[in-house]
Structure formats: C-alpha cells, structure tokens
Amino acid sequence: MYIKDVTVENQGGLRARPATFFIQKANEFKSSIWIEKEDRRVNAKSLLGVLSLGIIGGTAIRISADGGDEKQAVDELVALVESGFNE
C-alpha cells in the first residue's frame, strides 16, 4: 500500500467537474484506490463516494492505493489535486 497526504488547493474543492477529472484519472489504474477525509474513506473510483465527502478548498485529504501500479496512481492523483484541476 502506498499513501500520500495532500491539500486540495482549488477553491471549489472536489465537486462536480474536478471530481469527475479525479475519478477519470483514478480509473486509469488497476490498483484499488481510496480517498480519505478525516475519518471517512471512500473508493476514489466512485463519483458518489467522492462527492459524499464534501471536500472543499483547503481540505487535507489522504490518497492511498494498493496494487501493481499503486505508487504511480497515488503520485499522479496527488499531482492532479496540486494542479488545482487547471481552474
């Protein structure tokens, strides 16, 4: 398992459009991927799961993955979050 913490920089957080980009990127990998906020953990490949976390700008989240491409998956998802989803 590979884990990294990141702070969501874009003001809108992980809602609608950014969440869709995040999930599309997560689905490019074979590993199981989770996103955590505080004490809740959801499947990072599930739109409803990610939206249910209510992640807004400035929120610290943890991205973790388990599988053959876990490091690449987490690193690329962290980079996407740090980019602010080009907003």
Expressed as residue numbers, the domain containing 15 is 2-86
Instruction: List the CATH number of the domain containing 82.
Output: 3.30.1340.10
Pairing of strands 32-37, 60-66: antiparallel
Exposed / middle / buried, residue 48 (Cβ in 10 Å: 0-12, 13-18, 19+)? exposed
| pTM for this prediction | 0.94
For the stretch 17-70, pLDDT in tens is 999 999 999 999 999 999 999 999 999 999 999 999 999 999 999 999 999 999
Tell me what pLDDT residue 87 has. Answer: 63
Number of domains in the chain: 1
Q: Name residue 64's beta-bridge partners.
A: 3, 34
The SS3 call for residue 16 is: helix
Nearest to 23 by CA among 45, 38, 40, 50: 45
